Amino acid sequence: MRLALAEAEQAVRGGDVPVGAVVLSPDGATVLATGHNEREAAHDPTAHAEVLALRRAAARLGAWRLTECTLVVTLEPCTMCAGAIQQSRLGRLVYGARDEKAGAVGSLWDVVRDRRLNHRPEVIQGVLAEECAEPLRRFFRQTDFRTRPTLG
């Protein structure tokens, strides 16, 4: 989780919400990929930390199935990321802070553990939750979203 927190700090440097993610090999000893939010830098609404880390891990392995791999992320995944986790056949999800506004792994929805789906990873929540929540609180206190470009 500490490596994911370091990734989250990189997101802030790019003007993005501080969320970081790490994908670990099945034995948990090797970092396969990392990612942090890059939506602002890439002008890409899908450039969430989790999606980027999953893409990079799959590329490194040469396979889209991340069975038995572990994704460690600082914030509870949203519905898009939860869907990507489910589709990647990830073995385990570990996350820090809950997301009461958009969380899809227990807060608002529970996409990854929905019994109607064909794959459900193990979920471990609340790891270093306070340490993961603090950069988010700081970011939203300091960011003036009125200065961001908008359409119309």
Q: Give the residue numbers annotated as catalytic, written as ranges.
A: 50
Q: Which helix (H) or strand (E) holds 51?
A: helix 49-61
| 70-75 and 92-97 strand pairing | parallel
Phi, psi of 78 (to 5 degrees): -80, 180
Residue 6 burial (10 A CB sphere; 0-12, 13-18, 19+): middle
DSSP letter, residue 120: -
